[in-house]
Amino acid sequence: MRAIYVAALLMCACFALAHGANKRCNVLSIVTNVGSWVPTTGPAKYIGVPKPTGYWLAEFTHSYTVFKNAGCSITVASPKGGLGPADPPGFNFYANDPVTQALVAKRADGSPYVPVTENTISAAAITNAQLADFDIVFFVGGTGGMWDFPYDDNLHRIARVMWESGKVVSAVCHGPMALVHAKLSDNSSLVAGRSMTGFSNAEEELLGTATVCGLCYPGNEAAACPVGLTPANCSGPHMPSEYPTKGSFLLEDGLKAAGAVYVSTQQDWSTFYFRPHVVRHGRLVTGQNPGAGRETAEAAYDTHRLLRLTKKKSCPVWSQFADTFCSPVQQTAADPPVKCKTNGYIPKC
């Protein structure tokens, strides 16, 4: 009798934990809608030929899995709603990653896709009242987000409302594109004066997004074309002219221009995809690169956990959270000095 009672109690406890009954955690995970772009400048062979893009697969799958394993419920949204496309190379890149593959399915024709990002909710449909139910907003990166994230008023609204109601605002890789132009109610920048990271200019160069011709586009020749070249004969992949005409930018440049204290790790091509680097400034949690999906989500969840604790115990919130942790990679000389922790970044409270 007693054994049955204890077993029943244990089952109850497990059930409660698995379903997060005692620790509310609702996550709004936001992915891009942009699955391709058509270059209108650059070498003739690129013009008019759609190039695939999207969200970067593991930034979504790894963060989603962290939140799910922590007992959170996750709502997946995007600026327009509907399909959130994964950047196709990710399916090969993470073919042997079980965490990612657990969220990948095959269509009838054998092509891979991610069912949970097939039919996302539109950011416009999420009201401010509904945002009260969320604890964490997480902006997933990938180069697709360079197109729609910076210009979506609803993403800016979501970031503002979440921030101003004391929630966790987090983003990885190109995800902070959604925050660069985000304003608070007093019209000040959400990111100004805050320590942040995100995909770096050096990483863009490695990817080929910004080559020497990257900013050599019609109307910008004098400023950005290499000597003796014009947009017509500058070779190499160009940043699409749509970027500058819409006022787009490289993320590191955008964050710095908005007044953020941008922090990155020194990276090299052979390792940067795999080295997580996360910066936490209060409730603002950002990860630098495709390898940081898991760690950024862990830090975001941990911040949520600390907020709940500090409400109960009235711990000093801001000093507890102003930390940075990263892989043991040397900081560049130009970066502000940061405290690098290899583990144990979760402050005691």
Ligand X SMILES: *[C@@H]1O[C@H](CO)[C@@H](O)[C@H](O)[C@H]1NC(C)=O
Which residues make up the interface to ligand X (CB under 6 A)? 187, 228-230, 233
Nearer to ligand X, 187 or 330 (CB): 187
Q: How far is the CB of 175 from ligand X (least distance, A)?
A: 22
Residue 198, CA distances (Å) to 25, 46, 91, 120, 143 in order: 25, 28, 22, 24, 12
What is the C-alpha to C-alpha distance for residues 285 and 300, in angstroms, rounded to an integer? 6
Tally Cβ neighbours within 10 Å of residue 289: 28
CA of residue 30 relative to chain centroid, distance: 8
Q: How far is the CB of 230 from ligand X (least distance, A)?
A: 4
Long-range pairs for 228-236: beta carbons < 8 A, 24 or more residues apart: 231/41, 231/42, 235/43, 236/43, 236/208, 236/211, 236/212
Cβ(189)–Cβ(182) below 8 Å: yes
Nearer to ligand X, 163 or 301 (CB): 163
Q: How far is the CB of 50 from ligand X (least distance, A)?
A: 27
Nearer to ligand X, 109 or 186 (CB): 186
Q: How far is the CB of 193 from ligand X (least distance, A)?
A: 14
Nearer to ligand X, 234 or 263 (CB): 234
Cβ(325)–Cβ(345) below 8 Å: yes
Nearer to ligand X, 92 or 235 (CB): 235
**Strand 284-287 to 168-172 pairing:** parallel
Q: How far is the CB of 252 from ligand X (least distance, A)?
A: 20
